[in-house]
Chain A
Amino acid sequence: MTDPLALDPVLPLTERSALPFNDEQLDHDERYRHFEEHVTGGGKVESTDWMPDEYRTAVLRFVEMHANSELMGVLPEREWIMRAPTLRRKLALTAKVQDEVGHAQLLYRVAEDLGKPREAMIQDLLAGKTKFHNVFHYPTKSWADIGIIAWLVDAAAIVAQQALRDSSYAPYARTMKKICWEESVHIMHGRDVVLTMATGTADQRASIQEALDRWWGPLMQMHGPRSDRAKDRDLHWRIKAKTSEELRQEFLGIYVPRIREIGLTLPDPDLALDPATGVWGYGEPDWNELRTVVTNHGPKSQERLDFRRANWDATQWVRDAILSAPRAAVA
């Protein structure tokens, strides 16, 4: 499914060449200054524009990690495609995981245009040289996890992703429009799984609560520790628009009331909205756990990477076969 908004036309070449940082007659520092002025003033950058190495590297690193996360993020849910308890759930989960694979493909293409081939990005991921998001390093233990992941992990992700629709790097911003549209469907699927179990039998309800208790810590860590807005280069270049704390507050503001509304409890006694400031207080997330997990020392990090490596190796012959020139037709 394609969101028509994702198909906004890019600016024609003539308009791009009118931008001063694209002027080859200027020296590097002057181009850099014009580029910085353009971007910090809300201007967009296309893949064919001149850009400072610092910007190119920062966008590439950001998009590559996002692509890696989509690709690794399919593994925890994929295990449950075969176990989905009804035809409708099986179809919805297959479609959701398929969407994530599709997002990985779109994002690797965006990253490829910045100069790093897809093969190199996958090799770096498999070698543990690049990272993927913390939530994909944890096990899925029950069907309830499938509901919690699709509802709340995707919700926490979409809060961040919606802000990326305004990214200064236009190809990324356009891709995020399509991705956000699909993610919003995943959230509906997840909420439906959670609601069905929360209003089901006592065991189903207990299972959903147990899954929520287990995932809450990683969810609170997901956007990262508070950071200084002034020192964040990704914010400076407007690759992203919001700080980790702004994203976490937004997530809490929307989802805590929804979680409580269906009678589930959250395992944080300090979680409360300060009515005077409108700011959510919460128990300090375990940042050591976050650091441990994202450096591939999480409970499932190595198993998932091993699984990816084994599958990549087992299908190498297919890639070799289709990338080779076809043999002359057999008589």
Chain B
Amino acid sequence: MSDLVGLFPYWAVIILMMTGLYIVIAQGNLVKKLIGLGIFQVSVFVLYIAIGVVDGATPPILSPGFNSYSNPLPSVLILTAIVVGVATLAVGLALAVRIRESFGTIEEEDLLPLTVPELPPEPEARP
């Protein structure tokens, strides 16, 4: 029981991680895939922030009367990972837009017959 409560952030991480990964694999819609990827990455942000927490400690600001501080490094690291996540999402969405413009669809099952290697090359249609 105490594991369930005490490790709550980690349970949340596992659930988010599996949800995200499942969406990435199971969804055929490219935008939904990116949403899944986003959830997957957010789970890692939560994981990092959770490992920086020290029980009963204060935020890492030096002041008299407090001598136990949380670890700020994981939070700093994850700032970088958040930026990376946003950039990935931006590039992914931009690609999804261009795929919609060229192929007229962002559903994987409709894209599959249009992208088989046997087809002759066709330049992208730019509006």
A, B in one complex: no
Taking beta carbons and an 8 Å cutoff, which residues of B are in contact with A? none
Taking beta carbons and an 8 Å cutoff, which residues of A are in contact with B? none
